[in-house]
Amino acid sequence: MADIRPFRAIRPTPEYVQRVAALPYDVYHREEAAAEAAKDRLSFLNIDRPETQFEPGHDMYAPEVYQKAKEMLWSQVRDGIYRQDETACYYLYELTMDGRPQTGLAACASVDDYIENRIKKHENTRAEKEEDRVRHVDVCEAQTGPIFLTYRAHPVIRELTAQVKQSTPLFDFESSDRIRHRGWKIDDPDQIGRIRQAFAEIQSIYIADGHHRAASAVRVAKLRRETHPGYTGEEEFNRFLAVLFPDEELMIMDYNRVVRDLNGYTPAEFLEHAGKKFEIVRKNEAVRPTEKGTYGMYLDGRWYQLTLKKEYCADDPVEGLDVAALQRELFAPVLGIRDPKTDERIDFVGGIRGMEELERRVDGGWAAAFSVCPVSIAELLDVADAGLLMPPKSTWFEPKLRSGLFIHSIQD
């Protein structure tokens, strides 16, 4: 059973909500973050990336940087930019992209559910990547970026979500990337009880996006448990901020690949090698695959469709993924790219950038680009249920949750 609880959210007041809402901290390089944060002092990116408040050469991991984030957050709470709800509530957060809405429940998930694998993962995390968010959460005494979770749809939650969305939203705005954001508060005790009971009937919750943020929140909880040996489990640090979406509403976008060279082969020789395991058809336009086992390849100014021959397909939850097959049957044996996590000859391009970005990369000097059919939600859940891990850069979720709309205080 999953322990998904209401909480007393710290939220921007209506007049500031659009200015506060910011893309996640990790979508920006340092220079990009500084430029974006400078556009509006109330953008939550200023708090999420506090090194933007210092000179460009300043150590972004210095203690004073995290202290600055804490000062900005709590001063804005004191100034009325944010307010904390008096009672614990659930919240709905709807994002609409290209006319397709998805509605999640903003709530707090259990650290123990994560530790005991009731909240399941499909990616590894690296401690050095977690460290920054561990310090940010610990010093700020607040979780500011929600973890994107999913679950197999439940009829009670579906019904209550539809009911609540008939009421007036807390906020309703369109961000600069043309995503519509709407939110509602659920403070009715009966509805809260029914939602909590419905999640108690769900055996597994899955991390869709935000593995490092989740791991960081858990590490902070463990640190605080060490300093609170008599903790009861009811302290706020035992839970972490999340938005939970039903699997039926989510869409995963393609996560494509570009390679820097052909491992010494000419384009004609590379096509010959690829043809041993793939059926290859020349195309007159960009290929964005929609069927499992098919790929697009942009090589030497031309597009091709590649279809993996049946004898090289796999039934395993991980090896059967299209990204895994491409790595196993082409990148490793022909291009010599053995470890895509570390090999600098490969790079990854989110599907949100379109096929034009793949063409731009190759026309600009990269050797070839490969478009991949998106991983399905069912495949993601199957991998997590099997206790396995996906290859790196397998899933690209859009739209991105905004930070600053819901904040969870873990102050004692």
Q: For residue 141, is it left (φ>0), alpha (ψ between -120 and 50) or beta?
A: left
Start-end of CATH 3.30.1760 domains in the chain:
255-373
Cis peptide before 399 (omega within 30 of 0): yes
Q: Collapse the DSSP code of 227 into the 3-class scheme (helix H, G, I; strand E, B; otherwise coil) and give the result.
A: helix
**What is the CATH code for 255-373?**
3.30.1760
pLDDT at residue 337, rounded to an integer = 97
Q: Give, for all 412 residues of the chain, the pLDDT tens digit.
A: 899 999 999 999 999 999 999 999 988 889 999 999 999 999 999 999 999 999 999 999 999 999 999 999 999 999 999 999 999 999 999 999 999 999 999 999 999 999 999 999 998 887 777 899 999 999 999 999 899 999 999 999 999 999 999 999 999 999 999 999 999 999 999 999 999 999 999 999 999 999 999 999 999 999 999 999 999 999 999 999 999 999 999 989 999 999 999 999 999 999 999 999 999 999 999 999 999 999 999 999 999 999 999 999 999 999 999 999 999 999 999 999 999 988 999 999 999 999 999 999 999 999 999 999 999 999 999 999 999 999 888 998 999 999 999 999 998 6
Q: Of the candidates 220, 287, 270, 257, which has an alpha carbon nearest to the alpha carbon of residue 350?
A: 257
Whether residue 401 contacts residue 146, with contact meaning beta carbons closer than 8 Å, is answered with yes
Q: For residue 109, is it left (φ>0), alpha (ψ between -120 and 50) or beta?
A: beta
d(CA 268, CA 277): 15
pLDDT at residue 129, rounded to an integer = 79
What sign does the dihedral 207-250-22-35 (CA atoms) show?
positive
Go through 270-291 and write b for each residue having 16 or more CB atoms within 10 A of its CB, e for each that does not.
bbebbeebbeeeeeeeebbbee
Q: Of the candidates 409, 390, 334, which has an alpha carbon nearest to the alpha carbon of residue 140?
A: 409
Residues in Cβ contact with 328 at an 8 Å cutoff, skipping those fewer than 6 apart: 319
pLDDT at residue 245, rounded to an integer = 98
- The tokens of 324 are what? 């895994």
d(CA 372, CA 157): 33
Alpha helices in 143-210 (DSSP H): 155-164, 189-200
Amino acid at site 213: R
Q: pTM (2 decimals)?
A: 0.91
Please measure the distance between the N-terminal and C-terminal CA atoms of the chain and give it in whole angstroms: 27
Residues in Cβ contact with 234 at an 8 Å cutoff, skipping those fewer than 6 apart: none
d(CA 390, CA 197): 31
H or E stretch including 167?
A: none
d(CA 328, CA 16): 49
Residue with tokens 């469709």: 305
d(CA 157, CA 171): 21
Whether residue 295 contacts residue 315, with contact meaning beta carbons closer than 8 Å, is answered with no
Backbone angles phi, psi at 260, to 5 degrees: -80, -30
Q: Are strands 142-143 and 408-409 parallel, antiparallel or unpaired?
A: antiparallel
